[in-house]
């Protein structure tokens, strides 16, 4: 039961705050690196696919026209945000670079960048998948190195006393 709760916490953290929160959590609970890598990478890809699917299918329904207006106004506000202003000069490369930065690239950002740059979903998904691969590797390596440093400090503190 405890393991199930820990895994559920990992999934929840990943979906809410991304790998910047879920990877250190998983490393702290001694999950295997390959489990963290594959689960985090695949969760991001599945969330992006779900967002693409929902964005296209949901708003084709007539009774959701009010929700579509709200999303489009939100999209307009997002297009003026700092992260989009950073990404705009790079164009398509930003769909690769944002996920490669462990703290920046979220599937929600990629959806809006795809809409703002008027790209095809397949093209943006491929760029996101490649950038997400690099970003996930960087995040896991960073968390493992930090955990190693913390563990080394604890061992030194034990021998000093």
| Residues in CB range of 75: below 8 A, 6 or more apart | 112, 115, 116
* Tokens linked to 92: 């398509």
Note the pLDDT tens digit of each residue in 18-72. 888 898 899 889 898 889 999 999 999 999 999 888 877 766 666 666 666 666 6
Q: In 3-state terms, what secondary structure has residue 54?
A: helix
Nearest to 12 by CA among 48, 51, 43, 49: 43
How many structural domains compose the chain? 1
| Residue-level pLDDT at 88 | 74
Residue whose structure tokens are 């963290």: 36
Q: What residues make up the domain containing 108? A: 2-160
The dihedral sign for the CA sequence 21, 24, 28, 30: positive
What pLDDT is recorded for position 116? 79
Provide the pLDDT for residue 153: 67
Higher pLDDT, residue 112 or 125: 125
Q: Is the pTM of this model over 0.85?
A: no
């Amino acid at each position: 039961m405890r393991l199930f709760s820990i895994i559920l916490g990992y999934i929840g953290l990943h979906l809410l705050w991304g790998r910047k929160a879920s990877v250190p959590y998983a490393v702290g609970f001694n999950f295997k690196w390959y489990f963290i890598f594959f689960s985090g990478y695949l969760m991001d890809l599945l969330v992006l696919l779900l967002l693409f699917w929902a964005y296209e299918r949901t708003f084709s329904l007539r009774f959701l026209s009010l929700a579509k207006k709200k999303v489009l106004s939100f999209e307009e506000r997002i297009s003026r945000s700092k992260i989009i202003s950073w990404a705009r000069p790079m164009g398509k490369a930003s769909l690769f670079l944002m996920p490669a930065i462990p703290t920046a690239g979220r599937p929600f950002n990629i959806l809006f960048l795809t809409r703002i740059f008027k790209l095809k979903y397949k093209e943006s998904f491929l760029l996101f998948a490649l950038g997400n691969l690099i970003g996930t590797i960087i995040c896991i390596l960073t968390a493992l190195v930090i955990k190693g440093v913390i563990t080394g400090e604890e061992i030194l503190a034990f021998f000093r006393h």
